[in-house]
Every structure is written in structure tokens, then in C-alpha cells.
Structure 1
Amino acid sequence: MAKQSRGLIAYHMGVTTLTLGSVLNVILLLLRIGDYGLELKIANGLLLVFAVDYVIRLGITKNRKIFLIQSAFDLLGIIPLHPVFAFFRLARLVRLIRFHHLFWRLGLSGKWTQAYHRFIYQTGFIYLFSISVVIIVISAFLFSLTEKQSLANALWWAITTATTVGYGDETPHTAFGKIIASFLMVGGIGFIGLLTSTISDFVASRTEQATTNQEAQQQADLDRLLTKIDTLTTKVDHLQTQVDRLTPAKKNKHQKRPRPKS
């Protein structure tokens, strides 16, 4: 068991190193810093490593449905359409942090991870986002084939079309390309609209919940203050009653004292 635990930790450390290395390599690749050819080979090699890792994990998992849902960003991270998809691999680091309870070990609150899990899964964000990316990727791939464009240009066209930006620098010229664009306009815009509304609803609900919690806390503090005031008032009334009882007794005592003889 100890060997298995050490092996798992070593595997996760290796995944973390490769993930950070792949992201750094993509940044250098996009900024054209260093040897572009070497960085492109490294990016392709890491893509192959992560693809093999994904297939192996999919094969040995007991519940593939749960795996596909939780590893949706891992799948996006091995799309060979553009090196920028490597940034999706960072989501795996978040899962590793939650798996090893690093926030708890460092004495940090787990509210952030709970909010992350609630936003990604409970709101359906992961499903809408995955479907939107799939529509964009498939449309870009087909556009690249029909319009004889590079994958990078096709992906740029698909993103600008799906987000209704439409710069017009890349446009379909063939009939099949226009059909692809039509499907992308209807399906992509619809899902991206749902994606945007999901984010807006989540932010609004969190704001409303925070406001409600603050008002509830203020009301609770006010109730405790009123309770203390009532308790203090009762004690003061009781003390006043005792003082009122002692005052006549003192007067009678003074009256019964014999007067000194002259």
C-alpha cells in the first residue's frame, strides 16, 4: 500500500511537471521565443504523452461516464487542432490539488474548491462548454478541409463566427463551407449564449446568496443584542425591586432607634 501511494504521488508529480512544462512551451511557441521548430516538436511529443495517458486512464477506470465528465478538460487538452488547447491541461492540476487536499494541508479554506466544483459541474458549465468547443473544433476541421485553410486559420474563423464577432478576414467560398458556417452560426451561437447565461446566473446567484447571508448575519447579531438588552433590563428591574424593598426597612430601623437623653 505504501509503495502504491508513493507511486501515485510520483505519477502526479510527473503529470504536474509535464503540464506546467507544456503550458510554458506553448507560451514560448505562441510568442515566437526560442527555436520554433524544436518547441513545435516538444508540443507534439507532449500531446502524444497526454493522449496516451488519457486513453490508459479511460481504459482502467471503473466508471467511464464519471471519468468522461470529470476529465472533459483533459480531452480538450489533447485536441491536435492548435497548441493553445494545452492550456486546458491546467484543469487537471486543480483536480490534483483537490485530490491531495493541499488547501486543507496548507491551512487554507476549502470554500474556493467547493465553489469551483459547484460552478463547473452543478451548473452544467462543463457540459455546455464541452459541447461548444466540440462544435467549434469540428466546424474548424471541416472548414480547413473544404476551404483549403490551415487549422490555425480555420480555428480562428470558427471562433470569430461562433462569437458573432465576424472580422471577415476568413470567409467560406465553397457551398459546403457555407453550409458548415450556417450550422456553426445556429449551433455555436446557441450554446455559447447558454454558456454566457450560465456564467451570469452563477455570478448573480452567488452575489444574491452573499447578500442574503450578510443580511441574515446582521439580523442574527441584532437578535442577540436585543436578547442581551432584555436580559439586562430584567436584571435591572430585579435589582430595583430589591432596592425598593430595602428602603422602607432602613427607614423603619432609623425610626425605632431610641433618641439620646438630653
Structure 2
Amino acid sequence: MAKRAQRGLVIYHTGVTLLTLWSVINVSLMILRLGSHAVELTIANGLLVVFAIDYFVRLVVTKNRKIFLIQSAFDLLGIIPLHPVFAFFRLGRLVRLIRFHHLFWRLGIAGKWTKTYHRFIYKTGFIYLFSISVAIIVLSAFLFSLAEKQSLADSLWWAITTATTVGYGDETPHTAVGKIVASFLMFGGVGFIGLLTSTIMDFFTSRTTQLATDHEAQQQADLVELLTKIDTLTTKVNQLQAKITSLEKTTKKNTPSH
């Protein structure tokens, strides 16, 4: 029974992996304008439905929904129907599957960089800030689209440029609701985007400092080890010199004088 369940899990994860890669390739073709846009859009919408059903089924059957929502933040972003490009967030699912099956460890390539990735994503709070930032941007874009009668793609572009303080001005709110949404995005979105940027900078700064400290500590350790070896070698040389001197004295005593 356990082997059958394990086999079913492997088949399920393999299917998810293939569908994820298919969705990413399909969206890439749409962005590059290769192939039939109508067919690619139909495929994108079909895969969106499949991943949405998969997400909510897992949400229902999971034992700890709080942990699930945190760990599956990218899965939720991957089923946002604002723009097909959100399918790229589904690649986060593949990362978790790789970790779940310990593929890097099995291939012998697991090491410091996997630990660094885990520390950057979870211990710094990056995943939470990123999820909140994206949620604010997506919600603002959706409300802006309804209030200003704009397409979801243009509204998403407006939300991103506003949240990042770029503000090209090609899309601006004209209605009262649109201006309220813009104000909400300016205060909430800009704040979380700032925290997100600060978190990234702090991580790399601390990482650089840690590497420099580790390098200095390693140099100190190497120096201590070298000095220890020199002391050991000096002691052995002194012992050898003493033996040679003793041997010379013994030889002189045993040598008959003429």
C-alpha cells in the first residue's frame, strides 16, 4: 500500500512538472508572438483552470492551511487570471518538488547554495514581503481596471509603475474610486516594495560581510595550523640535531686514537 501511494505521488508530481513546463513554454511563445495566439491563449486558460483546481483541492485536504498558504504563495500567484505571464510563478512549485524529492542531494550537487536559497527565501521573510507586495499590486490593478474601465494588462502596468515609484504617467486615474485605489497603492505598495528592496540589500550585504569574515577566519586558522606545523618541524629538527650530536660524541669515544 505504501509503495502504491509513493508511486502515485511520483506520477502526480511528474504530471505537475510537465504541465508547469508546458504552461511556461506556452506563455513564452505568446510573449515572443510565435504560433497562433488564439490557440496559445486557449491552452493558457485551460492550464489556469487545471492549476486552480489543483491549488484549491490541496488547500481543502491539507492539515495545516496556514503553513500551506505560506509555502504555496507562488502557487496562488500562478493562478491569478490577470495576465498569462503570471504562469511563471508556477516554477516555484518545481523548486518545492525538487526539494521534496531531494533531487539535488541525489545528484550530489546539494551544498551551500541550496542552504543560502532557503535562508534568503524564508529566514529573511522575503517570501512573505514578496507575496504581500504582489497581492497589493494585483488587487490594486483589478480595482483600477473596474474603476477606470481599463484592460487588466494596462491596469497591471499602471500598478507596477506606481508601486515602484517610476510613474511614467501613461496611465492615470480619473475617477474618485481610481484615485482612492491609487492612494492605497502609493502608501501600501510603495511601503512593502521598499521593505522588499531593503530585505534584498540587507541579505547580500550581510552575505558579503559573512564571506569576508569567514575568509579572514579561514586565513587565521590556516596561519595557526602553519605555525603549529613549523613548531612541530622545529622540535623534530632539534631532536634530530641532538641525536646527531650524541652520535658524533659516541663515535669519537669509540674511535681508537693513533
TM-score, normalised via structure 1 length: 0.94
Deviation sequence 1:211-250 (CA, Å, 0-9, x none) = 2222222211111111110011111112222333333443
| 2:252 corresponding residue in structure 1 | 251
Q: In structure 2, how many angstroms separate the alpha carbons of the residues matched to 1:7 and 1:112?
A: 31
Q: In structure 2, how many angstroms separate the alpha carbons of the residues matched to 1:138 and 1:177?
A: 12
| 1:162 corresponding residue in structure 2 | 163
Percent of aligned pairs sharing the same letter:
74
Q: How big is the alpha-carbon RMSD for the aligned residues of Structure 1 and Structure 2?
A: 1.3
Return the offset for 1:194: 0.5
| 1:130 corresponding residue in structure 2 | 131
What is the number of equivalent residue pairs in this alignment? 257
| 1:242 corresponding residue in structure 2 | 243
Q: In structure 2, how many angstroms separate the alpha carbons of the residues matched to 1:242 and 1:19?
A: 75
Q: Give the secondary-structure state (helix, strand or coil) at the position aligned to 2:59.
A: helix
Return the offset for 1:208: 1.5
The one-letter amino acid of 1:70's match is: Q
| 1:46 corresponding residue in structure 2 | 47
Deviation sequence 1:119-155 (CA, Å, 0-9, x none) = 1111000110011011101111110011110111000
Contact between 1:160 and 1:167, CA under 8 Å: does it hold in 2? yes
Larger radius of gyration: 1
| 2:173 corresponding residue in structure 1 | 172
Q: Give the secondary-structure state (helix, strand or coil) at the position aligned to 2:218.
A: helix
Deviation sequence 1:54-91 (CA, Å, 0-9, x none) = 00111111111111111000001011111111100001
| 1:56 corresponding residue in structure 2 | 57
| 1:142 corresponding residue in structure 2 | 143
Q: Give the secondary-structure state (helix, strand or coil) at the position aligned to 1:233.
A: helix
| 1:85 corresponding residue in structure 2 | 86
Q: In structure 2, how many angstroms separate the alpha carbons of the residues matched to 1:22 and 1:173?
A: 36
1:168-247 to structure 2, matched below 5 A, reads 168-247=169-248
1:18-37 to structure 2, matched below 5 A, reads 18-37=19-38
**Unaligned stretches of 5+ residues in structure 1:** none
Contact between 1:98 and 1:113, CA under 8 Å: does it hold in 2? no
Q: In structure 2, how many angstroms separate the alpha carbons of the residues matched to 1:110 and 1:29?
A: 36
Return the offset for 1:112: 2.5
The one-letter amino acid of 2:69's match is: L
| 1:114 corresponding residue in structure 2 | 115
Q: In structure 2, how many angstroms separate the alpha carbons of the residues matched to 1:117 and 1:72?
A: 15
Contact between 1:26 and 1:83, CA under 8 Å: does it hold in 2? yes
Residues 1:102 and 2:97 aligned together: no
Q: Give the secondary-structure state (helix, strand or coil) at the position aligned to 1:221.
A: helix
Q: In structure 1, how many angstroms separate the alpha carbons of the residues matched to 2:57 and 2:119?
A: 28
Q: In structure 1, how many angstroms separate the alpha carbons of the residues matched to 2:250 and 2:108?
A: 64
Q: In structure 2, how many angstroms separate the alpha carbons of the residues matched to 1:168 and 1:258?
A: 111
